[in-house]
Amino acid sequence: MEEKIPKNIDEYIDGFPPMIQEIMTILRETIHEAAPEAREKISWGMPTFSQKKLLVQFGGFKNHLGFFPGPEAIEAFKDELTEYKTSKGTIQFPYKKPIPLELVKKIVGWKKGLTIAYVLMMGMTACSGNRNANLQVSYENAPKEYVENRMLPIEGAYNARDLGGYPAAEGKHVKWSKVIRTGDLNKLTDTDLQYLTQIPIITDIDFRDTVEVNATPDRVPATVVNQCYLPVRPGSIKDYMKLTPEVASHVLVDINEKLVTDFQSEYKEFFQILMNENNTPLLFHCSAGKDRTGYGAALFLASLGVDREIIIEDYMLSKKYVEKKYSAIVKAESVLEPIMTVKREYIEAAFDQIDKSYGGLGNYLTNYLGVDTLKMRKIYTE
């Protein structure tokens, strides 16, 4: 049976048992006490409160209420949150304990102050002629941490990012919460799964090969009805654990060129899935979420008319988000550093191969991967 998505916060709260309804109602009232002008809506499947920019969200889980003020707030109030479990931007309030309402007020008030300062700063930035000003100012309803870091509050996966918000063709922007890119999903926590359920993720596209899939099978949210396997072998880091320094520096340049030439059928199928809106919201991943996934993300954004430089900037975000995942390996075997990270020349090698051999991205997407760019933009931009 298809899960009903609530239209507003009242409907969301009504979907829980009476005891939890009461807790949510009190939290909702407390948020409005701290931010009387905050506007309500359902976003990312959860009650969302914004005042020009996103302030906070909350969501009901099995044993706790998830409160989402963002990672900056978690850091700012870490001394007062020691008795609660926290992760990337999330605080867990157990149902069996009273919610610290005064602390909630402080956090919401602090976020409100940040938001006002941010809006003022963006106003000045827009007037300054900065080339990124329109990119940032247009995200009025997106969390600040999404705009700058694009990270989902996921604890059990590296490099989990929303591809929304980027400026696209015809003055539009990529829709938020339609397409997520990430690394492997085998260590997702129950809270992570609940979060993805509330988006709700419908389709999981896995670029890993059979060996990888069998070794670390995905954990997926209950809302997933499509698990699609599109194995891309040359992108697997596990094939390159014994390398010389001379070879290591060229491996991912070669791999990105091969992604263009040798795996057109897999990425063609990737777009066939993308071009069916019934498959959305969706996520796609490999092991690190940087090479096979990075190339897929680049093609996806290119099909929407996103500027190449912005596509490269998105690709390069993986550099900091996978560093922790591979830090121990790099420390033990420094020769592997070039293949445990991303570099601009890696994705540029793919673009150069497309330009040289296929007449540019537009021709490659349309005539080799079968992409209907008008359809893609209708589904994924606004």
pLDDT of residue 122: 35
- pTM across the whole model: 0.66
**Are the CB atoms for 241 and 327 separated by under 8 Å?**
no
Residue 230 and residue 292: Cα distance in Å, rounded? 10
Task: Tell how strand 179-182 and strand 282-285 pair up.
Answer: parallel
The letter for the amino acid at 107 is I
**CB neighbours (10 Å) of residue 342?**
23
Residue 287 and residue 201: Cα distance in Å, rounded? 19
Structural domains in the chain, CATH included, are 9-113 (3.90.1150.200), 150-380 (3.90.190.10)
Query: Residue written as tokens 């940032």?
Result: 136
pLDDT of residue 73: 85
Would you state the structure tokens that stand for residue 303, as one six-digit string? Answer: 């099909």
pLDDT of residue 129: 32
**Are the CB atoms for 280 and 379 separated by under 8 Å?**
yes
**Are the CB atoms for 270 and 296 separated by under 8 Å?**
yes
pLDDT of residue 367: 98
The residues with which 202 forms a beta bridge, in sequence order, are: none
Give residue 92's Cα distance to chain centre: 21
- Alpha carbon of 260 to those of 124, 256, 339: distances in Å? 42, 7, 18
Per-residue confidence of the chain (382 residues) as pLDDT tens digits? 445 678 899 999 999 999 999 999 999 999 999 888 889 998 878 899 988 678 899 999 999 999 999 887 888 888 899 999 998 789 999 999 999 999 999 899 888 765 443 333 333 333 333 323 322 323 344 545 555 667 787 889 999 999 998 999 999 999 988 999 999 999 999 888 888 887 889 999 999 999 899 999 999 998 999 999 999 986 445 555 567 777 777 888 999 999 999 999 999 999 999 999 999 999 999 999 999 999 999 999 999 999 999 999 999 999 988 888 888 888 888 888 888 889 999 999 999 999 999 999 999 999 999 999 999 999 999 8
Name 97's Cβ contacts closer than 8 Å, sequence gap at least 6.
none
DSSP 3-state assignment of 296? helix
